[in-house]
Amino acid sequence: MPAQLAQFSRFADLIAALDLAAIAAPAQIPDAFLLAREGRVTAHYIPFDYVNPAARVVVVGISPGFVQWKNAVRAAQQGLREGLDLQALLRAAKYTGAFSGAIRPNLVALLDHVGLQRWLGIDSCASLFGLDAGLMHVTGALRQPVFVDGINYNGASPNMLTTPLLQSQLIDYFGQEAAQLRDAVFVPLGPKVSLALSWLARRGMLDEGRILHGLPHPSGANAERIAYFLGRKEKSALSSRTNGSRIDADRAALRVKMAALGMAS
């Protein structure tokens, strides 16, 4: 049995019996889902075991949060009730609600702007969420939900690169996924994820040349940085909160890396 299916099988009965309506906060997640604890930090199982080995682009966030945990468990419960094949069940749990709201159109605009759609041979990266979904894999540098004092981990504190529990999560989960995705390029969402992927690359678990650093995080809260990166806003019009020169440098470095991979922006 593949490793991801074997792990899910350990939790399938717990998931099936869980009363999600009674769980309103991370602190109420049953102890049976706890994978690791270190001081204020906890990591819990989520049915995000699905890996798409055919993916050519891997979009990497920080960590699923509590809402994603509930949505994934709910999707897994439905799949179990319907008797879905385990691969189909895990894929449904993984992608339920992925990149909803403003994040999806922003991400598509950023990926299209740097020419990733041409490298993939598609008209637009919008089809990665539909017809061409088989070309994409979505994951987190920390694949399991991590909470600090019962609050979603934000990537800043504690430092995931110096905290043993988080280092282990990076290596044991994301590192194992990356080993199955050698032909893909990796798109880190935000600077903390970029640092984590480079940390893994220095340990031989990822090819630094295939990490597309430098895209602004596609969150709606990052609208000004996105607008400047896309050329929709002039540098002179940026607020003091946005470092246009830093974005220029990131964009230039990204173009060099893309050229090395055969991507024309």
Structural domain spans, the chain: 3-260
With bands split at pLDDT 50, 70 and 90, how would you rate the model's confidence at 73?
Answer: very high
Q: Is 34 helix (H, G, I), strand (E, B) or coil?
A: strand
- Model pLDDT, residue 5: 65
Q: What values do phi and psi take at 245, rounded to 5?
A: -65, -40
* 24 has a pLDDT exceeding 90: yes
Residue 1 clears pLDDT 50, i.e. is over it: no
Of the candidates 26, 37, 112, the residue with the CA atom closest to the CA atom of residue 69: 26
Token readout for 198 is 């480079």
- Residue 162, SS3? coil
pLDDT above 70 (res 146): yes
Q: Which residue has the tokens 């994951």?
A: 139
Q: What average pLDDT does this structure show over 169-174?
A: 94
Mean pLDDT of the chain: 92
Give the span between the Cα atoms of 99 and 125, in whole angstroms.
Answer: 13
For range 172-191, the mean pLDDT: 93
- The pLDDT of residue 102 is 78
Pairing state of beta strands 57-61 and 185-188? parallel
Using the Cα atoms of residue 70, residue 72, residue 75 and residue 76 in order, give the sign of their dihedral: negative
* Banded pLDDT at 2 (limits 50, 70, 90): low
The predicted-structure confidence for 79-124, as pLDDT tens digits, reads as follows 999 999 999 999 999 888 677 777 889 999 999 999 999 999 999 9
The residue whose two tokens read 């050519």 is 56
- Segment 131-158 shows an average pLDDT of 94
**Are residues 44 and 147 in contact, defined by beta-carbon separation less than 8 angstroms?**
yes
Per-residue confidence (pLDDT) for residue 99, from 0 to 100: 75
For the cut 60, the answer to whether the pLDDT of residue 265 exceeds it is no
Q: Which pLDDT band holds residue 4 (cuts at 50, 70, 90)?
A: low
Task: Choose among 230, 219, 155: nearest CA to 193.
Answer: 155
Q: How confident is the model at residue 261 (pLDDT cuts 50, 70, 90)?
A: confident
Residue 219 has pLDDT above 80, yes or no: yes
3-state secondary structure of 56: coil
Residue 107 in tokens: 């991400």
Please report the pLDDT score of residue 90 as a whole number: 93
Q: Residue 16 pLDDT > 60, yes or no?
A: yes
pLDDT at 263: 73
Q: Is the peptide bond before 158 cis (omega within 30 degrees of 0)?
A: yes
pLDDT value at position 7? 86
Confidence (pLDDT) at 128: 93
- Nearest CA to 7 out of 137, 120, 113, 143 is that of 143
CA–CA dist 146, 66 (Å, integer): 9
Whether the per-residue pLDDT at 136 is higher than 50: the answer is yes
